[in-house]
Structure 1
Amino acid sequence: MPEIRRRSDAVRNRARIVAAAVSAFDEVGPQLRLDDLAERAGVGVATVYRLFGSRDGLVQAAFETVFGAEIEPLAQAAREAPDPATGLRDVLGATLERVAAHRGLFRAARETGAVGVDIAERYLRDLDDVLRAAQRAGAVRTDVALRDVAAVLVMVLAVVRDGDPDGADRRRYLSLLLDGLRPGAPALPPPAPGGWEPPVPPPRGECSPVG
């Protein structure tokens, strides 16, 4: 029984610390100190180290929690949209909103290397399904690839800034770039050769975009 209780306490403490970390990184940014985080979570800093191993481990747990709870479901929902073109536009817009809302956490995740390819791939697999459905419906040019859609996210996030809290620039430039996905324009030049890793881009200002 004592062992079960310790495990239960550890699960609760972990969840409370991660929730506090998400909130704190959003407010303070990547310079957040673990001592301050532990105080917010109502635990000792030793508990943070015991559960996460290091500050980087905590950042990764917070990032994976946000990505899994707030961003991955967007692409999953877009696959079920009756109109795939609307689904594609909506998932990109909503993704930009969530990344911008957590720009402090995303910057910390980038700096610590917590922005892993594996978690991005789950999101991008669903996004690729949405893109292909929009292409089959004739709403997106056929020479557009998933890497191009990911690049749209990176480019729009480059204009994210604290002076635009309502996201007017995000909406403006997303609309501009989405126009380039529509059929009817001349063929695109070929992409650069070599491999490509899917980005999970943090925004500029709080975060510099993935190169």
Structure 2
Amino acid sequence: MYFKVLFMDAKNYHEDLSHIRSMMERSSRFISLSGLSGVFAGLSAIAGAVYVYFRLKREGIDYLDGDRNIFQPALIRELIWVAVIILAVAILSGYFFTATKSRKKGLKIWDATTRRLLVSFSVPLLTGGVFCLALLFHHLFVWIAPATLIFYGIALVNAERYTLTDVKYLGYCQIILGLLSLFMLGWGLLFWTIGFGLLHIVYGLIMHKKYK
């Protein structure tokens, strides 16, 4: 009987510790990120890449023919606008899926943790955005794709401290992909498709299965 009581006390103690850890995690980390938002962002990126591929076809450019691909400034600007539209769609869909998940869990989507997450994520991202605008200004177009992947990856790794730990692995993959693309300039569309498309889909599916 005495050992049974000790066992029950130990069990309750561990349950209390688990509950406390859960409460601390909820207060210090934004845990409502939806894996579906990653999947939708990836699909949007792939749809954009397909559009760009056939847009280049209309210009008489076969992107996958193995040649070094360097485009005219006017075409580059159009591609940038396509990227901006895809980014907007990804952000809006991410907010929708995340807000839906937060409501289901009874969690606030906007609090001090969310603000810290956004600041942590935005500083490297905005820095990278200004850097890419400078590249665009100086017509150094082939460097834009590697820069976007690298700075985006740094932003994800930097934001990991305020959200799901798994985010940093996506960030590491984006950084590695961006570094690889530095040695294959002119193939930005391909690396963008892999980084913002395929990697987001794989990450989103894993997160959806793990945290659903």
Q: Which structure has greater helix proportion?
A: 2
Query: Normalising by structure 1, what TM-score?
Result: 0.27
- Structure showing greater Rg: 2
Q: Normalization by structure 2: what TM-score?
A: 0.27
Query: Larger relative contact order (C-alpha < 8 A, sep ≥ 6)?
Result: 2
